[in-house]
Each structure stands twice: as C-alpha cells, then as structure tokens.
Amino acid sequence: MLAHADDTFKKLLDGNFATAVLLSDSDAISLGFHDFDASRLFANNQNLGSMDALDNRKQISVYNAPFNWKLNDLTLNDGKIVNQNVSVSLSYIEQTREVKFTENPATGSDKSTENLLTTGIKYWTSYPLSNSWSFRSGVSTNLMYFKNRYQYNDPLTLSFKDQLDGYIVNTDAWALTVQPSIESHYRKPQEWGRWEIFSELNYFYGHGWGEANHGDIGNPEGWYWINGIKGFYNVTKYEGYQQTIFSSIRRVDVGADLQQPLGTAHFYEWGVGWLVSPPFLTTYIDNIGIGINLNYGSSIKGGSIVLLINQD
C-alpha cells in the first residue's frame, strides 16, 4: 500500500514539473490574469470551455517573463550567417484548491496551495536555408522549485496529519531538466508587417530531489510539438512607439508526463493582442501588450485575458 502511494505521488510530482516546463513556454500555452468560459461565445462548444474547466483555470495563476539577447553572428565557410541567441525566462505558477473528504456540511474544507518557481536559460541558433526559410536548434535547462502549503480543517485529514506532513503536504521538492529543441521556420515580410509559419519539437528529461515523498521525486519527462502560424500587422508609430496587432493559431501535441495533467494528447491555442514596442530598454524589452487567448481541447480549455511581453 505504501509503495503504491509512493509511486502515485511521484507521478503527481513529475506531472507538476512537466506541466511547469510547458507553461513556462508562451509559444506553447498561455494563461492570463482573467479567465472566462469561451464556450458561451461559440454556441456552447464544450471543447472551448465549461464551468469545470473555468474553475480549473481560476485555480491556476501563471506569470512568465522571457528575455532575449542576440549574440555575435557566426560566419560559415560558405558565407552564410548563423544567428546566435540566449533566452532567459522566469516563471511562477500558483495553484490553490479546496478539498473536502467528509460529507458533513458542518465541517470545514482543507486548503492546498502549490507554488512552482522556474528559472530557465536557452541557447539557440538560426541557420538560413533561404531568404524565408531557416532551421533553428537549441538546448535549454530549467531549474524548478515546488512548495506545498496545506491547511487542515477536515476531521478526516486532521487524524492523518502526522503521516502526511513533510511527506505529501507541507513539503517541497526540486527538479532540473535539460531540453533540446529543433524548429523549421518560415518568415515572410509584407508591406503591412510580416507572417510566419513554424514547427517546433521539444523534448525534456530531468531529475528531482528534495523532502517530498522521502526524496523519491522521480524523473520528469515529456515532449511537445508546436505547429502554428502567426502574423504581425504594423498599425502605426507614434512618438517612437511602434504599435502592432499580433495574432497566432497553433496545435500542440504532447506526450509522456504531460498527457495526464492536460487530459489530452493534443490541444489548440488561438491568440490575438495589441503590442507596443517602447523606445527604451530595447536591450531587454522588444514589446509589451495585452491580448486574448483561447485554449481548445485540454483540461484547462477556455479563454484568458493575457499580458504579453517580448512576443516574437
């Protein structure tokens, strides 16, 4: 019984860490600061949302801050230029849920709060195949810290507090993942801006450690494949502020430890937003803005109002 519980909790931790890797990649999935049931806007299409999915989204808060730096280009023997880049990201995820095990309405509900902080760094290159096509490859690493805070109010869980504390709840864990990626990218400039098509495959594998589950954290593993199209329409430039309308649609296939938390093998994302490129701090900020994002077909399906930063 105990060995089975160990394995079950280990898989839950692996799923938490794997989901954090995906949620820290804004090209794959985006959650915002205000959620809504998108099914009401599209003839009650249940793949676009439901009240249960909306409750799931409201329990999760995600904050991402990506920063990109361009390194010196490499010149190959054939004269082609290889672009080198470094990306650094900070991501914070908080999930809060109430849990009630007894049916007695006079008893309270337990409250569980999970925090997951991710810091990531990625080195990637872009090799030109033609004026429009390029091949990109990179490798990244994510260091993640998980902490659980649990408040006991249910009499049933209170009776097991000594067995649960520091093992399953009120505990913490770490994980480090390595993630190679490859991407084919098509970019077509236009008079009004540009549009792009991309196909990006990511695989990650990691090692976990910490207090939770007696140190048996496991090895978070997963892959996701993003296929999408996006466009940037330059609206106007006012006093040095370039303003752009951004839109994208993408399909994301997922595997390994990502499938169970997301409840699917693939999902779709559509987003639209208004971007502003400020004439200051250009080394760190390409653009900032606000938009709407829709998720179709996953356990967190629905809509969000999102803050955008360094959208490319």
pLDDT, tens digit, for every residue of 153-182?
A: 888 888 888 888 988 899 999 999 999 999
User: Rounded CA gap, 33 and 52, in Å?
Assistant: 18
User: Rounded CA gap, 295 and 29, in Å?
Assistant: 8
- Count CA atoms within 13 Å of residue 204 on its CB side: 33
For residue 281, the model assigns a pLDDT of: 64
For residue 33, the model assigns a pLDDT of: 62
Total-model pTM: 0.85
Degrees to nearest 5, angle at CA 231 with 230 and 233: 160
Q: Distance from first CA to last CA of the chain, Å, rounded?
A: 49
Q: Do the strands 172-190 and 193-210 form a parallel or antiparallel pair, or are they unpaired?
A: antiparallel
Of residues 80, 74, 60, 93, the one with CA closest to residue 131 = 80
3-state secondary structure of 72: coil
Kindly state the DSSP code that residue 48 receives in the 8-state scheme.
Answer: G
- 230-260 confidence digits (pLDDT tens): 999 998 777 667 889 999 999 999 999 999 9
Q: Are 64 and 22 in contact (CB under 8 A)?
A: no
The CATH number of domain 2-309 is 2.40.128.130: yes
- 125-153 confidence digits (pLDDT tens): 999 999 899 999 999 999 999 999 999 88
User: Three-state SS across 99-133?
Assistant: ECCCCCCCCCCEEEEEEEEEEEEEEEEEEECCCCE
19's CB contacts (< 8 A; 6+ apart) are 258, 261, 262
**Spans of all domains in the chain:** 2-309
Q: Are 94 and 142 in contact (CB under 8 A)?
A: no
- Count CA atoms within 13 Å of residue 165 on its CB side: 7
For residue 5, the model assigns a pLDDT of: 46
**Torsion (CA) 152, 153, 159, 161 in degrees, nearest 10:** 0
For residue 3, the model assigns a pLDDT of: 41
Residue 12: count of CB within 10 angstroms of its CB: 16
User: Rounded CA gap, 177 and 193, in Å?
Assistant: 36
For the chain, 312 residues long, give each residue's pLDDT as a single digit of tens. Answer: 344 447 888 999 999 999 999 988 878 887 766 665 655 555 555 555 455 544 555 567 778 888 888 899 988 887 788 999 999 999 998 888 887 777 777 677 888 899 999 999 999 999 999 989 999 999 999 999 999 999 988 888 888 888 889 888 999 999 999 999 999 999 999 999 899 999 999 999 999 999 999 889 999 999 999 999 999 999 877 766 788 999 999 999 999 999 999 999 999 999 999 998 877 666 667 788 888 888 888 888 888 888 887 777
Element of type H or E holding 163? helix 161-164
Of residues 238, 189, 174, the one with CA closest to residue 20 = 174
